[in-house]
Amino acid sequence: MNKDYYETLGVSKSASKDEIKKAFHKLAHKLHPDKNGGDDAKFKEVNQAYQTLSDDTKRAQYDQFGSAGPQMGGGQGYGQTGGFGDFDFSQFTQEGGFGFDMGDIFGEMFGGGSRRAKNRRGADLQTSIGLDFKESIFGVEKEIRITKPSTCNTCHGNGAKPGTELHTCSQCNGTGVVKSIQRTILGSIATTQICNKCEGTGKIPKDPCQTCKGKGIVNEARTIKVSVPAGIQNGETLRLQGMGEAIKGGQSGDLYVHISVTPHKTIVRQHHDLISSLNIKLTDALLGAEYAVETLDGTVPVIIPASTKVGDTVTLKQHGVPTGGSKRGNFIIKLNIALPEKLSKRAKEVIEELKKEGI
């Protein structure tokens, strides 16, 4: 039965060799049987179509006679002696490729299995903490309670009863990985996997730890101290290295702590400066006065200069957000002039006098 190789690759009959190659790359990545959701049969069809259309001679014969024509291989596919031809699998791992390592698929063939056993790493975990505004500005040390897989304190993670020895794993002979031969579309391929008996460590305890039952890991609630640096902002995240999931024979993951800051009632932050507003009386704006202003350092006396206008500001240096060492931003006070809602007869008379003077 004739097969439409152009339809198989999803290209037009006038497609260039580059377009055919790109179409094959995309489909090969999607259908490869060693990937989740792969399809062995469809992958064979895609490869057969590519092997034909990527070769000028075969493509010309196919265009004239179809897939049943001479030198079409009779649907040979890609067994051990043919099929993939000169296709370069290194393109799967080059920049702009498909984003996966062929070493992960073909295991020992590329020497990847034992490397993965040595570089095992626990999962990263996430949690969150809330801070009040002042804590976010000056920093604080917080304690959080989190339940997670942690290294057993009794055996220190090796799974053995204290004072007993570890023996070489009989299943992997101490390598941490087990090898197997799998029949794939490329023939027989040697692969490696993490040894499930020793969990990749290559050692097993003669007498298992009673606390963790030989696993080296216990799931328990632990209190973790978090040092929140000064000047942290709402929405930022702290990374606590090695405080995530612990795994036997591998590196612990990290713990990410998301920060939530409660806004202040009267103070807002702008970069390294803190900003507040102050309502002053009209007479104080004209003649000047002293006010007590609430800052994060406590109540501070502030001198309002005479002839203050609406929108003027007063700056308290070194009362803002810490910027390193002893340096800090400023505390900026925006002045609002509060006008009286009602005027007494005497006040009106005084204002009339001022009006005559052109004030």
pLDDT, tens digit, for every residue of 294-309? 999 999 999 999 999 9
**pLDDT above 70 coverage of the chain, percent:** 82
Instruction: Looking at the structure, give the CATH architecture of the domain made up of residues 125-261.
Output: Ribbon (2.10)
> Which string of DSSP letters, residue by residue, matches 103-156?
HHHHGGGGT-HHHHHHT-BPPPEEEEEEE-HHHHHH-EEEEEEEEEEEE-TTTT
**Per-residue CA distances from 96 to 19, 99, 101 (Å):** 15, 8, 13
Tokens matching residue 133: 């505004």
Rg (CA), the chain: 37
Tokens matching residue 80: 């051990």
> For residues 110 and 117, what is the distance between their CA atoms, to the nearest angstrom?
14
Instruction: Looking at the structure, give the CATH architecture of the domain made up of residues 5-100.
Output: Orthogonal Bundle (1.10)
pLDDT in tens, 49-108: 888 898 888 888 887 766 555 445 444 333 333 333 334 433 343 333 333 333 444 443
Look at residue 138 in the predicted model and tell me its pLDDT: 96
Model-level pTM?
Answer: 0.60
Is the distance from CB of 44 to CB of 185 less than 8 angstroms? yes
CATH class of the domain whose range is 268-356? mainly beta
Question: Which residues make Cβ contacts (< 8 Å) with residue 61, sequence separation at least 6?
Answer: 69, 70, 71, 72
3-state secondary structure of 264: coil
pLDDT in tens, 183-216: 766 567 777 788 888 888 889 998 999 999 999 9
Q: Give CA angle at 337 (336, 340), nearest 5°.
A: 140
Tell me how far the alpha carbon of residue 169 is from its chain's centroid.
35
Res. 329: pLDDT tops 90: yes
Is the distance from CB of 304 to CB of 310 less than 8 angstroms? no
Look at residue 356 in the predicted model and tell me its pLDDT: 83
> For residues 64 and 321, what is the distance between their CA atoms, to the nearest angstrom?
78
pLDDT in tens, 144-180: 999 999 999 999 998 999 999 999 999 999 888 888 7
Predicted confidence band of residue 290 (pLDDT cuts 50, 70, 90): very high
Q: How many alpha carbons fall within 13 Å on the CB side of residue 281?
A: 7
Look at residue 180 in the predicted model and tell me its pLDDT: 79
Res. 130: pLDDT tops 70: yes
- For the chain, which residues make up each domain, given as ranges? 5-100, 125-261, 268-356
Question: Which residues make Cβ contacts (< 8 Å) with residue 267, sequence separation at least 6?
Answer: 133, 274, 275, 276, 295, 296
